Structure 1
Amino acid sequence: MPSPTPYVNIAAYKFITFSDTAEKRAEFRALCEELGLKGTILLSPEGINLFLAGLREPIDRFLAWLRSDAHFADIEVKESYSDRQPFTKMLVKLKREIITMKNPLIRPEEGRAPAVDPKTLKRWLDQGHDDSGRPVVMMDTRNAFEVDVGTFNNTVDYRIEKFSEFPEVVQRHKPDFDGKTVVTFCTGGIRCEKAAIHMQNVGYDSVYQLEGGILKYFEEVGGDHYTGDCFVFDYRTALNPKLEATETKQCFACRAVVTPREQLSPWYVPGESCPHCWKRDVSTVTDSGVESR
């Protein structure tokens, strides 16, 4: 379907052994600069993770080039649209992991955990159980500030600050899910590729990953059983279930999410400060009444 706005935003990842990352880095960077694309590409021995934006024709040329490599011939891409370029730079980075979990024994390339597609998940949530009659529990694998922008109704949220905290906390809470089916989810699906495998490894007997994450769910189902928006890592900050940018912003000083209501605060100065900065400063006041910064 043609885009009503000029910029095409793509997100994609693939777990696959990728040994020549250093050599490929220059190729990726040169092509993206030639095509006028901006965003971030992560290259790792375990695969690729990318977020790019550009005009339709350059994006299509990039994807044709990428899929000409046998490593990435079947890479799946999620698209959304915007009326301006959501990124300011073009970065190609080399990383140890494309999503940091600090558990090298988990290798999604060697076999994924079971996945549930968005339409099936909606049906499960509509009826209150999976096809085996087990209660369905949604588990958010994202960081706390992302969850605060929006998440599935009645989701389990462990308030993690970084993904490397997830393995320990989910292992500790395993008894809470006896007899239940757990569906893990994140923005685009990449975290759950590792999260669901880890949960199987520590003894969860019925765990699925949401195929394509929240963004794919929005694309195929809309906002049923979901409250709020979905945080994304570009200037749009959050997308609603129609995959449209919202008025939610992110503070460039403290990185907190700033709601439209919070933007009315005198403490909100775009690019400089927000009410969350002020709260953090207040929390540093010493017993003597002197602010420690």
Structure 2
Amino acid sequence: MNATVEQLAPVEQQATSGWVVAALYQFKEVQDAAALKERLLDLVGSINLCGTLIVADEGINGTVAGDRAAVDAVHQFLLDEGFTSMEYKESYSSEKPFRKMKIKLKKEIVTLGVEVKPRDLVGHYLDPKEWNDLIARDDVILIDTRNDYEYKAGTFKGAIDPKTESFREFPDYVKKELEQHKDKKIAMFCTGGIRCEKSTSLLLQEGFNEVYHLKGGILKYLEETPADQSMWEGECFVFDGRTAVTHGMEEGANIKCHACGWPLLPAEVELPSYEHGVSCVYCIDNTTEKQKEGFRMRQSQILAAKRKRL
């Protein structure tokens, strides 16, 4: 497959008071990913949808948002295309969570950078109740497979942070930090489950004996688990305008620093280091004054464009 191909489709203003947000993925052999991308483009060009869908030879992955009819249309389209075993979760956003609709053609639907077989080598799936029982044990190594900024917003009690900036770094973490624990019970989790499909497959491929992962990811856990029975601490970072969600899939209190992408609690927004779109406590010392001036100019252009649309 060639390098990433990205196409954009226009998205009209949402007419209702809220947006249906659907996160989905399935590992499934796709005979002609480029042709599937074109069929998706034809569909999304005629419905009120925003978000991102990634198509590859190994399947489909993405998050989309729109009105009820639009989300149902894309869901049914994918079912008709043979994606009948999708991991599919819905939530809601009070505001438009994505600027545009994007369809991307890639080599992987989630980029690990190491060839694995997530349809053949599969860890033990656990539902939320089983997950709570497992991670409460002393003989289990609990690993958050997400990136460092996602871990910062929230994680499960006792989870290890691999301190990765991208999923591509996870195989190196396994080699450096986990090789000596092949006889241990390893439990892993991620936002919606897709990264754990590959990380568990990787560990099994490397000879680990007992590998577990949370079916449906954190989003399913927060949807199904009452707060008083939960082992989750903080909020779950999401890759849309909401920044984070919490139990019951309610929008969280974190907001995103648009300069570095890190989630910020309300108290961190009040710090002198925070300037909207320019800096926060995590990035203020990592950019020059010239770069900050560029960020300020960008923010001015964004505000001007918003005023023009009103």
Per-residue deviation, residues 210-268 of structure 1 (Å, max 9, x unmatched): 11111111112244111100000001001112211122111222222222111112432
2:42 to 21, 27, 30: 30
Q: Higher mean Cα deviation, 142-151 or 110-119?
A: 110-119
Question: Using a 3 Å threshold, how does the CA distance of structure 1 residues 179 and 76 change in structure 2: closer, same or farther?
Answer: closer
Contact 1:189–1:213 (Cα < 8 Å) also in 2: yes
Question: Using a 3 Å threshold, how does the CA distance of structure 1 residues 201 and 253 change in structure 2: closer, same or farther?
Answer: same
State the TM-score, normalized to the length of structure 2: 0.82
Question: Using a 3 Å threshold, how does the CA distance of structure 1 residues 235 and 153 change in structure 2: closer, same or farther?
Answer: same
Question: Using a 3 Å threshold, how does the CA distance of structure 1 residues 176 and 226 change in structure 2: closer, same or farther?
Answer: farther
Question: Using a 3 Å threshold, how does the CA distance of structure 1 residues 54 and 175 change in structure 2: closer, same or farther?
Answer: same
| Residue 49 in structure 1 maps to residue 53 in structure 2 | no
1:89 matched to which residue of 2? 100
Alignment of 1:1-293 (within 5 A): 6-70=18-82, 72-104=83-115, 106-125=116-135, 128-129=136-137, 135-174=139-178, 177=181, 180-223=184-227, 224-281=230-287
Question: Using a 3 Å threshold, how does the CA distance of structure 1 residues 217 and 191 change in structure 2: closer, same or farther?
Answer: same
Contact 1:6–1:56 (Cα < 8 Å) also in 2: no
Per-residue deviation, residues 2-42 of structure 1 (Å, max 9, x unmatched): xx963110001111111312122222122123111000000
Contact 1:122–1:221 (Cα < 8 Å) also in 2: no
Runs of 4+ in 1 over 3 A off after TM superposition: 175-180
State the TM-score, normalized to the length of structure 1: 0.86
**Matched position secondary structure for 1:52:** strand
1:174 and 1:266 map into 2 onto residues whose CA distance is 40
1:291 matched to which residue of 2? none
Per-residue deviation, residues 89-136 of structure 1 (Å, max 9, x unmatched): 0000011111111112x02123422211111112334xx33xxxx722
Contact 2:87–2:216 (Cα < 8 Å) also in 1: no
1:33 and 1:251 map into 2 onto residues whose CA distance is 31
Q: Higher mean Cα deviation, 88-97 or 201-210?
A: 201-210
Contact 2:224–2:248 (Cα < 8 Å) also in 1: no
1:197 and 1:61 map into 2 onto residues whose CA distance is 32
Per-residue deviation, residues 181-208 of structure 1 (Å, max 9, x unmatched): 2111000000111101111122221111
After superposition, the CA RMSD in angstroms is: 2.2
1:43 and 1:173 map into 2 onto residues whose CA distance is 32
Contact 2:126–2:215 (Cα < 8 Å) also in 1: yes
Structure 1: unaligned runs, 5 residues or longer: 283-293
